[in-house]
């Protein structure tokens, strides 16, 4: 029999609902597996096995059958939890205890989810890495900023984790850790109780091991009843292959795979075409950088004024410098760029259902002092469209490489439905 910690969220819920197992048994299985793996992976900033078992006992006693009944969930440590610290990846907030749960934490609990612990984040969900290592090779980065969430799911320490994304902070770690990563249309899932990095882009991100699990969790966090995904055949989509202006930053191996994969979808009957993005899109990365930095630095006013010495040189010389130098006129002009490109992307989606594009340059790079190249997400996060990465490829070293799928705003169910069809046929995990 499959060990419980190998089950997906959907599998766990089915097993508990049918009386085959209990929340306590599930929790114990995951805790035991975490004990085995955590020394290497370092995914957790806070994990109290007793608190986990208390929750599991309460769930079993409660007699409810929530849509996430008994599913262990990792929560990125910039998301408030009433019963655990929330430290934002910085010593400045060591021991900080929120008085209430973030909306997404509370909705997870309402659905019967079990909050396993707090996953490591980079400093203020920015670039300076935490302690986490890639679960598939401890010498490599797990990606960031939702480093612990990606690594915890990749290491099967939890089947689900919540991250966030302001640039590439969900898609990148999910891709490097061999997970499914999903960022919804911005605005669909509430961010109350989540540290604001840059509200123009901030979204909750979900990390899981299957698209069905993503769908299950998405409904819980939107706060709507469970709803199965539409069945979409591989041939039933108009696919646009988008190399983007960052294509030459991709490994040749990744480039080859994506091009072959596009041809493969065409063989299944999908209408696949190369998409040349409008030249205006070349401005998106800079615009995203200005807007996110302008907003970030103002959100961090308190820490900048009271704890300057405890902020990393990486953050001080990077985003804080950029955000301080950015004028309001530059900020406004950058927002204009994004608004204009957003309309162009709407037009483009008149001809495509799904865009196929790199999620990352390739395998997670060696070294723990950087979280990797974020360029492959800036266009999509900058334009607030939903994105999903699937583990479809192994790179030259046998490590997972995610491939990214994009849909228009509000077409999240189409995106997930198509991704599930792809997953069934092509997932490597």
Q: Which residues participate in catalysis according to the annotation? A: 76, 145, 169
Binding mask 382-421 for a copy of itself (x = CB under 8 A): ----------------------------x-----------
**Tokens representing residue 303 in the block:** 């820490």
**Which residues, listed in sequence order, are joined to residue 34 by a DSSP beta bridge?**
none
Task: Write down the least CB distance from residue 97 to a copy of itself, Å.
Answer: 8
82 touching a copy of itself, by CB under 8 A: yes
> Residues 19, 248, 309, 328: which binds a copy of itself (CB under 8 A)?
328
Q: What secondary structure letter does DSSP report for 24?
A: H
Q: What angle do CA 410, 78, 192 make, to 5 degrees?
A: 50
Q: Which of 6, 62, 139, 187 binds a copy of itself (CB under 8 A)?
A: 187
- Nearest residue to 385 (alpha-carbon basis) of 203, 139, 115: 203
Beta bridge partners of 74: 117, 161
Q: Please select the residue that binds a copy of itself; options are 222, 264, 266, 344, rule is CB under 8 A.
A: 222
Query: By CB neighbour count within 10 A (0-12 exposed, 13-18 middle, 19+ buried), where does 3 fall?
Result: exposed
Q: Report the site for a copy of itself in 260-319 (rule: CB under 8 A).
A: 295, 297-299, 301-303, 305
Among 33, 37, 76, 109, binds a copy of itself (CB under 8 A): 109
Q: Which tokens sit at 36?
A: 């085995």
Nearer to a copy of itself, 42 or 299 (CB): 299
| CA triple 269-270-271, angle to 5 deg | 115
Least Å distance, CB 228 to a copy of itself, is 15
Q: Minimal CA–CA distance to 25: which of 78, 82, 88, 72?
A: 72
Q: Stretches 28-36, 187-195, 233-241, 250-258: which one binds a copy of itself (CB under 8 A)?
A: 187-195
Question: How is 220-268 classified by DSSP, letter by letter?
Answer: HHHT----PPPP--TTSSEEEEE--TTGGGS-HHHHHHHHHHHHHHHHT
Q: Is residue 96 a contact point for a copy of itself (CB under 8 A)?
A: yes
- Max Cα–Cα distance, the chain, nearest Å: 62
**How is residue 44 written in tokens?**
């957790």
Among 49, 223, 318, 395, binds a copy of itself (CB under 8 A): 223
Site for a copy of itself in 346-365 (CB under 8 A): none
Residue with Cβ nearer a copy of itself (138 or 199): 199
User: Does 196 contact a copy of itself by CB under 8 A?
Assistant: yes
Residues that bind a copy of itself (CB under 8 A): 82, 93, 96, 99-101, 103, 105-107, 109-110, 187, 190-192, 195-196, 199-200, 222-224, 295, 297-299, 301-303, 305, 327-328, 332, 335, 410
């Amino acid at each position: 029999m499959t060990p419980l910690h190998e089950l997906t969220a959907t599998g766990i819920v089915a097993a508990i609902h049918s009386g085959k197992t209990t929340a306590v048994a599930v929790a114990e299985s995951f805790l035991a597996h975490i004990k085995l793996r955590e020394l290497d992976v370092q995914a957790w900033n806070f994990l109290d096995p007793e608190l986990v078992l208390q929750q599991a006992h309460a769930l079993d006693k409660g007699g409810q059958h929530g849509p996430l009944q008994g599913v262990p969930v990792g929560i990125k440590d910039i998301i408030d939890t009433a019963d655990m610290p929330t430290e934002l990846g910085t010593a400045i907030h060591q021991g900080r205890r929120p008085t209430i749960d973030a909306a997404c934490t509370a909705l997870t609990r309402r659905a019967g989810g079990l909050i396993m612990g707090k996953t490591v984040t980079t400093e203020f969900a920015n670039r300076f890495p935490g302690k986490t290592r890639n679960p598939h090779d401890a010498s490599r980065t797990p990606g960031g900023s939702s480093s612990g969430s990606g690594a915890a799911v990749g290491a099967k320490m939890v089947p689900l984790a919540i991250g966030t994304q302001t640039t590439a902070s969900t898609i990148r770690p999910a891709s490097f850790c061999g997970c499914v990563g999903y960022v919804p249309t911005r605005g669909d899932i509430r961010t109350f109780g989540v540290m604001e990095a840059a509200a123009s882009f901030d979204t909750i991100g979900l990390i899981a091991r299957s698209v069905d699990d993503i769908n299950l969790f998405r409904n819980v966090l939107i706060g709507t009843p469970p709803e199965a995904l539409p069945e979409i055949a591989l041939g039933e989509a108009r696919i646009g292959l988008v190399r983007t202006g960052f294509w030459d930053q991709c490994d040749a191996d990744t480039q080859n795979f994506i091009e072959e994969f596009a041809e493969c979808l065409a063989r299944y009957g999908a209408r696949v075409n190369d998409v040349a993005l409008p030249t205006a899109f070349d401005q998106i990365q800079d615009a995203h950088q200005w807007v996110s930095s302008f907003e970030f630095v103002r959100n961090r006013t308190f820490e900048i004024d009271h704890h300057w010495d405890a902020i990393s040189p990486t953050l001080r010389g990077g985003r804080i410098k950029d955000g301080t130098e950015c004028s309001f006129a530059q900020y406004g002009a950058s927002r204009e760029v994004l608004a204009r490109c957003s309309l162009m992307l709407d037009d483009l989606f008149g001809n495509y259902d799904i865009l196929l594009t790199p999620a990352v340059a390739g395998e997670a790079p060696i070294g723990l002092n950087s979280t990797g190249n974020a360029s492959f997400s800036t266009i999509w996060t900058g334009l607030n469209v939903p994105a999903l990465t699937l583990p479809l490829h192994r790179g030259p070293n046998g490590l997972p490489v995610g491939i990214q799928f994009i849909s228009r705003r509000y077409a999240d169910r189409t995106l997930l439905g198509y991704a599930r069809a792809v997953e069934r046929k092509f997932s490597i995990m």
